[in-house]
């Protein structure tokens, strides 16, 4: 292994200038990069042979789905004159140039012709503008009850491409794919042939489908009524990944046709499509495998297809391979046929009807263990040297599969279910029907090195992906605007199933923490409704965020609590039965629920206020005697920008839940539906206190009158068990959230935290540490080390006894073990008590044993992080990282390596991960998130992002979750006007399109909010501490 190159890394300018210690660092000059494509997504190009017409703003988002087969508006406007430009140029000869270079007077004939042309031009313009009921804009002529004419783009061969929309037409639908693939892991290329059986819904001459990066070598079309297959022309429009197959005859309604396309391509070196992965085998030799990741839009890069979720079809997969490899796909393998010397072809069973993004295949050398349940063979695959880490996953998958079948009353419909650990995989996992792929860290569990939190993670991800076998696979959202139907449901079922099947894991508190973090994101103006219109690939990628997953799940939890579990379960069953093997919209779910509530509650009316509006409500409660006055408004962390959206029009139907000191155990919690801006709730008697949003099962923040806040703070100090741990965590979250919008003074929030001396549960302490860490990070990254230290001292006084009580073991319940891990990690990172001393001794013992001594798994990361503070410790940890076969252990080591404050080491880590050899590129986002936690690291990470931006978006794709995460984590601790300007300037210099990405807007808004928070609270913090 090449030693760490201490002397070969150049420090970035921010580090050289020590600008990390300045409140106003210099803004880096940025060269504007050229656009990736000459056309933006809302541009379409029409180009006759000798001239070009560029039309912006076709407004395709506004066009109805059934607007098809329109003639070019170039014809409508008589633009055939453009093809006669040569003749017009010839007429220009009427202007003669004299020998001295001056222009002579044009001839009479020329003047007459020019006058006629001018009159005609003026007449055309007047007709256009005076057309009845027509407004002519750059988008075209808008007529009442008429749609806009389309201007068609050009194919790569210069011919007119016969489709001008992002979405495919519905005049032809796929029924079946017969796909043959021949991947070569030596050359990293593959050949393919696909036969697509289609049915014609409306007469057409063209079949429009998707293809991306495929070299099409041959295409034919056949039908039962034809004697033989007929060659067809294929037009390509790569800007939208579309191809058009031009039929030799009209395709007739009701007829089936078979389209056969042969093509060549390369295995991808990104994480999308049919991509290659290098790995070391058990003999430390470099090997290759090929795997797929098609969601959302990458099936088209492996085979031509109708790559939209609503175009469901059946699939027959055949893969030709070297006989030393093995293959997997969605369905069981039917037969293996010898093809040539050392080459065989595997043929799989015909699949059920499914979307293209769920198709999967793998070519590799994997080992597995299996277990059968209810006529389904469940198998877990991994690298041979890691097969000993799959037993927990197998047992977990079997139990969860049995639970889901009973809960949904629908059997899993396939004969097999494979779970596969992929050595290099960007997502956490992918739910392909019958062939679920995972990161190794989310599937493998090692008894010696995996912690309690590792076990919970593996179980959660398996639960999520198995839920998708029903929500997403059996029933699929019609379009990506309703992605939350897939991901929100899978996330909700993940925690619900774990609570029912593995109650000892105590996952409800984990779900609570995720809801808190999601609301932090959703309170930005840059947020979006969980059901949002999307068209472009980047917009679709951006839908894969915390809102689709966690907010979607949170709304389902709120609905379940409101309509009660039995009705909710019946509604889910109804939805799945009604739409099996079909595609749905959000309204289909609410309609299924309404069939169960049977008029007692309009679920659709209620839930539309939550899925079609961004953000969430702030409920203000004022108690007067037996009356509770409640009022709602949008909770918005406003920067008061010119684009700020007023909350006046926001109205939610909120299922309020509340409890009091006199709450009847049989009726508690009480529920009230607030469907107006304000209302009054009458209690039966006066109460000492009231607490709204019981256990934080609702998706809203609560603010109380000052006296009621004081009462609740006293309650925590004197009788904290009167409220559940989740309610206590909720109060901490709410009061700091209200500080952020100026509703509550900062000192009151810190006074509430004083009760923590009596707190022993993980959820409240974790939330308190999270809120304090946000303040600590802002202050520390401003270079105010003394003030930051005083913030930590304040927390230490509250938690000192708990820190001293912790043992460095794996004893106790899951909750106790997580509590230990959280408290000790905080203590060691801030050098509190004897924490660092104990961790250092454990690391020395582990290092002296050459890594063979067992460490307590729950404190392993803390021990590694402490040991990595020294050069020797860091180097030893890196050597152990490269040789370890435990992904859980490697993950902890990597986080420890990225926690050093040695800037050269940090640069090397990020660069090495981006290269993807010694450290996988899949780890880069996590490395950056760890690097930014230190004072030098937060500027270093931002410099790295700027300097490697083009490489990052080539590897991870614009809009992807990895890019979203990298943009937000590398900037969220900035709190100066200089950094705000620097971030804005950087993204604007790339392109207008990139500057409008949601994650970029979120990053900028967060910096603005940080500046505002510091202006409002810094003086108070300095004075108080």
The catalytic residue positions are: 465
- Category of 257 on φ-ψ map: left (φ > 0), alpha (ψ -120 to 50) or beta: beta
**How many CB atoms within 10 Å of residue 977?**
13
Contact of 866 with 893, CB cutoff 8 Å: no
Question: How far apart are alpha carbons 60 and 694 in whole angstroms?
Answer: 45
The alpha carbons of the chain give a radius of gyration, in whole angstroms, of 31
**How many CB atoms within 10 Å of residue 34?**
8
Question: Among residues 791, 877, 867, which one has the least CA distance to residue 828?
Answer: 867
Question: How far apart are alpha carbons 185 and 276 in whole angstroms?
Answer: 8
Q: Residue 294 is encoded by which pair of tokens?
A: 């098609």
Residue carrying structure tokens 């408290």: 823
What is the four-CA torsion angle of 224, 226, 230, 233, rounded to 10 degrees? -70
**How many CB atoms within 10 Å of residue 653?**
19
**How many CB atoms within 10 Å of residue 175?**
16
**CB-based contacts of 528-531 (< 8 A; 24+ apart in sequence):** 528/614, 528/998, 529/611, 529/612, 529/613, 529/614, 530/484, 530/488, 530/555, 530/610, 530/611, 531/481, 531/482, 531/484, 531/586, 531/611, 531/612
Question: Among residues 550, 326, 423, which one has the least CA distance to residue 916?
Answer: 423
Who's near 643: CB < 8 A, 6+ residues apart?
525
Q: Residue 276 is encoded by which pair of tokens?
A: 């290659």
Who's near 565: CB < 8 A, 6+ residues apart?
none
Largest distance between two CA atoms of the chain = 107
Partners of 286 in the β-ladder: 280
Contact of 170 with 185, CB cutoff 8 Å: no
DSSP H stretches of helix in 31-107: 73-76, 85-91
Task: Give the count of alpha carbons within 13 A of 714, CB side only.
Answer: 9
Contact of 862 with 828, CB cutoff 8 Å: yes
Residue carrying structure tokens 């909720």: 730
Task: Give the count of alpha carbons within 13 A of 678, CB side only.
Answer: 8
Contact of 699 with 555, CB cutoff 8 Å: yes
Question: How far apart are alpha carbons 975 and 1015 in whole angstroms?
Answer: 10
Who's near 90: CB < 8 A, 6+ residues apart?
none
DSSP assignment string, 296-318: TTTGGGTS-B--STT--BEEEEE
- Category of 609 on φ-ψ map: left (φ > 0), alpha (ψ -120 to 50) or beta: alpha
DSSP assignment string, 808-868: SS--S-HHHHHHHHHHHHHHHHTT-TTHHHHHHHHHHHHHHTTT-S---GGGHHHHHHHHT
Q: What angle, rounded to 10 degrees, do the helices at 887-897 and 871-883 form?
A: 150
Q: Is the peptide bond before 890 cis (omega within 30 degrees of 0)?
A: no
- With vertex at residue 1015, the alpha carbon angle to CA 1014 and CA 1017, rounded to the nearest 5 degrees, is 60
């Amino acid at each position: 292994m090449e030693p760490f190159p201490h002397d070969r890394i150049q420090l970035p300018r921010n580090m050289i200038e020590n600008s990390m210690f300045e409140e106003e660092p210099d803004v880096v000059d940025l060269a504007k990069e050229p656009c990736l494509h000459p056309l933006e997504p809302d541009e379409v190009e029409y180009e006759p042979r000798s001239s070009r017409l560029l039309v912006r703003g076709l407004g395709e988002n506004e066009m109805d789905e059934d607007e098809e087969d329109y003639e070019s508006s170039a014809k409508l406007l008589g633009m055939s004159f453009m093809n006669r430009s040569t003749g017009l140029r010839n007429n220009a000869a009427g202007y003669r140039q004299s020998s001295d270079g001056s222009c002579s007077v044009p001839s009479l004939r020329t003047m007459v012709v020019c006058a006629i042309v001018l009159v005609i031009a003026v007449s055309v313009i007047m007709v256009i503008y005076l057309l009845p009921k027509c407004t002519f804009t750059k988008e075209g002529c808008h007529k009442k009850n008429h749609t806009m004419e389309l201007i068609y783009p050009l194919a790569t061969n210069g011919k007119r491409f016969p489709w001008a929309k992002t979405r495919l037409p519905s005049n032809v639908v796929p029924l079946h794919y017969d796909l043959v693939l021949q991947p070569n892991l030596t050359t990293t290329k593959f050949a393919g042939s696909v036969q697509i059986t289609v049915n014609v819904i409306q007469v057409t001459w063209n079949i429009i489908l998707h293809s991306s990066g495929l070299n099409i070598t041959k295409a034919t079309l056949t039908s039962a009524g034809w004697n033989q297959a007929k060659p067809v022309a294929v037009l390509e429009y790569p800007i939208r990944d579309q191809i058009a197959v031009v039929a030799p005859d009209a395709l007739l309604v009701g007829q089936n046709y078979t389209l056969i396309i042969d093509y060549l391509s390369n295995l991808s070196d990104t994480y999308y499509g049919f991509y290659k992965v290098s790995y070391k085998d058990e003999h430390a030799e470099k090997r290759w495998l090929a795997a797929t990741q098609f969601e959302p839009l990458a099936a088209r890069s492996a085979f031509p297809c109708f790559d939209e979720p609503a175009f469901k079809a059946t699939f027959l997969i055949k893969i030709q391979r070297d006989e030393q490899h093995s293959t997997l796909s969605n369905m069981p393998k039917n037969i293996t046929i010898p093809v040539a010397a050392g080459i065989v072809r595997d043929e799989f069973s015909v699949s059920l009807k499914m979307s293209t993004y769920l198709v999967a295949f793998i070519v590799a050398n994997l080992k597995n263990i299996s277990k059968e349940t209810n006529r389904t063979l469940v198998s877990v695959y991994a690298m041979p040297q890691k097969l000993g880490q799959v037993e927990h996953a197998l047992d977990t998958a079997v139990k969860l599969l049995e639970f889901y079948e009973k809960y949904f009353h629908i059997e899993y419909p396939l004969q097999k279910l494979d779970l596969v650990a992929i050595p290099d995989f960007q997502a956490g996992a992918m739910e392909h029907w019958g062939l679920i792929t995972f990161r190794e860290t989310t599937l493998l569990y090692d008894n010696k090195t995996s912690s309690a939190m590792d076990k919970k993670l593996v179980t959660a991800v398996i639960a999520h992906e198995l839920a998708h076998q029903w929500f997403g696979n059996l029933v699929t959202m019609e379009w990506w605007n309703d992605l939350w139907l897939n991901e929100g449901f899978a996330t909700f079922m993940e925690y619900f199933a774990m609570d029912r099947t593995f109650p000892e894991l105590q996952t409800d508190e984990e779900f609570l923490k995720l809801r808190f973090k999601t609301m932090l994101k959703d309170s930005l103006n840059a947020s979006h409704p969980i059901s949002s219109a999307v068209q472009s690939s980047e917009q679709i990628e951006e839908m894969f965020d915390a809102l689709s997953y966690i907010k979607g799940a949170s709304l389902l939890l709120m609905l379940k609590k409101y309509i009660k579990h039995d009705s909710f379960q019946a509604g889910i069953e109804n939805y799945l039965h009604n739409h099996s093997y079909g595609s749905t919209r959000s309204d289909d779910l609410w309609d299924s629920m309404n069939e169960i509530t049977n008029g007692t509650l309009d679920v659709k009316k209620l839930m539309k206020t939550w899925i079609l509006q961004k953000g969430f409500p702030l409920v203000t409660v004022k108690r007067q005697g037996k009356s509770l006055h409640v009022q709602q408004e949008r909770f918005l962390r406003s920067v008061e920008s010119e684009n700020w959206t007023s909350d006046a029009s926001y109205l939610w139907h909120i299922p309020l839940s509340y409890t009091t000191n006199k709450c009847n155990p049989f009726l508690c919690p009480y529920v009230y539906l607030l469907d107006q801006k304000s209302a009054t709730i009458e209690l039966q008697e006066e109460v000492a206190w009231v607490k709204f949003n019981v256990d934080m099962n609702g998706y809203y923040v609560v603010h109380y009158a000052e006296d009621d806040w004081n009462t609740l703070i006293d309650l925590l100090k004197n009788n904290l068990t009167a409220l559940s741990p989740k309610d206590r965590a909720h109060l901490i979250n709410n009061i700091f959230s209200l500080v952020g919008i100026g509703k509550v003074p900062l000192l009151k929030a810190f006074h509430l935290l004083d009760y923590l001396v009596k707190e022993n549960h993980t959820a409240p302490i974790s939330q308190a540490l999270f809120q304090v860490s946000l303040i600590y990070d802002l202050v520390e990254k401003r270079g105010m080390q003394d003030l930051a230290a005083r913030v930590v001292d304040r927390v230490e006084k509250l938690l000192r006894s708990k820190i001293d009580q912790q043992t460095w073991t794996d004893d106790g319940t899951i909750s106790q073990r997580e509590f230990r891990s959280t408290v000790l990690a905080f203590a060691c990172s801030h050098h509190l008590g004897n924490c660092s001393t104990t961790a250092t001794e454990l690391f020395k013992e582990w290092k002296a044993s050459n890594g063979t001594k067992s460490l307590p798994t729950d404190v392993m990361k803390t021990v590694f992080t402490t040991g990595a503070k020294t050069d020797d410790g860091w180097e030893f940890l890196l050597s152990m990282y490269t040789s370890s076969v435990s992904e859980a252990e490697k993950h902890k080591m990597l986080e420890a390596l990225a926690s050093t404050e040695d800037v050269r080491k940090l640069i090397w880590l990020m660069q090495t991960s981006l290269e993807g050899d010694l450290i996988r590129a899949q780890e880069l986002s996590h490395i950056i998130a760890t690097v930014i936690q230190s004072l030098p690291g937060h500027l270093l990470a931002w410099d790295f992002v700027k300097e490697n931006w083009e490489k990052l978006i080539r590897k991870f794709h614009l809009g992807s979750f990895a890019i979203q995460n990298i943009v937000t984590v590398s900037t969220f601790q900035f709190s100066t006007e200089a950094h705000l300007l620097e971030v804005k300037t950087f993204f604007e210099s790339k392109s207008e399109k990139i500057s409008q990405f949601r994650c970029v807007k979120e990053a900028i808004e967060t910096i603005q909010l940080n500046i505002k928070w510091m202006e409002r609270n810094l003086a108070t913090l300095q004075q108080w501490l």
